[in-house]
Chain A
């Protein structure tokens, strides 16, 4: 359950972005969570709900896009791999595979509201 640490890092980013854009509140937070990122979406959601109270994102909705694992076989270039089982290439059976996607944990975008028109950007 390291999701609370991840959400604490998320709020550092949210507060920085809110200051930068002079936002009164953040309404939507969108994350991309890789299947092999080590974070569990449900736990991120409950940590977010707990953490957001009294912050700039108090009323915000958390959206999570789960990013599937994408690998490439270094032997044949195939991108169909047995992620659940052997991690081997389904085309040639090769085991020398490269992980292209599915490990990242990224704040993709946020939506925010300002009470007055922002003076910059």
Chain B
């Protein structure tokens, strides 16, 4: 019997990163801006997508990939807005992986502008998995409290934008949006911060403009 030590030095997320890089390359080549939405359950990802669907109707073509552990509910809500949606049910897994997104990619229409990927509601696990997105947005709703960024630093560290949602509830809650933003910015100074109420429409113009500008940058080759 022989014993031996083998130096491996391999990234455990390496395969996922590879698949994600291929997805990113393909979506860039097709001129599609992809956005990965991350948040706890119930912070308003689907409601935000419904509001974006209404805003982009007739102006930009969007589609949505929905990630959930069970049910088609979120995809049905998006389809009801006239937007194509694919539901990925992970069957227990608490996050989406690049391979799951890759399987749906072939069905995505070629003439699309924006592809949103709604991750499984979870502020921890999805942060570790690159899905080949161009932008990562983390949502934090006012009822969750303004102390969350430091409790879940990885989600904020890997994000490009922070969307503070349900701002219409702020008058009723001990939630300080400036404090939440400052805490997130201390982790990631480059974060773009938006304050929106998807139900009332407040802040939606700025957020929609952010995606449209990012799409223009992508198509001019300066992503």
Contacts and interface: CB of A to CB of B under 8 A. Distances in A.
A107 B10 CA distance: 5
A117 B125 CA distance: 42
A109 B7 contact: yes
B11 interface: yes
Contact of A38 (B7, B11, B127, B185): B127
A107 B8 contact: yes
A104 to B, nearest CB: 7
Interface stretch (B12-20, B25-33, B50-58, B209-217): B12-20
Contacts of A37: 128, 154
Nearest to B5: A111
B129 A2 contact: yes
B13 A108 contact: no
Given A113-B2, A114-B4, A1 B125 contact: yes
Task: Give the dominant DSSP class at B's interface.
Answer: mixed
B186 A88 contact: yes
Interface residues of A, number: 39
Interface string B121-139: 0001101110000000000
Interface stretch (B81-89, B91-99, B167-175): B91-99
A92 interface: no
Given A38-B124, A38-B154, A39-B128, A9 B2 contact: no
Interface in A83-111: 86-88, 95-96, 99, 104-111
B153 interface: yes
A80 B16 CA distance: 32
Contacts of B128: 2, 37-39, 105
Contacts of A109: 5-9
Contacts of B9: 106-109
B95 to A, nearest CB: 5
Interface of A: 1-2, 5-6, 9-10, 12-13, 17, 21, 23-24, 27, 31, 36-39, 86-88, 95-96, 99, 104-118
Given A5-B93, A107-B10, A116-B2, 5 more contacts: A24-B1, A27-B3, A104-B11, A105-B13, A107-B12
Shortest Cβ-Cβ A-B pairs, 4 listed: A2-B125, A38-B128, A105-B12, A107-B8
24 contacts: A2-B95, A6-B13, A13-B10, A17-B6, A17-B8, A21-B4, A36-B153, A38-B125, A38-B154, A96-B189, A104-B11, A105-B12, A106-B12, A107-B12, A108-B7, A108-B9, A112-B3, A112-B4, A112-B6, A113-B2, A113-B3, A114-B1, A116-B2, A118-B2
Interface of B: 1-16, 93-95, 97, 124-125, 127-129, 153-154, 157, 185-187, 189
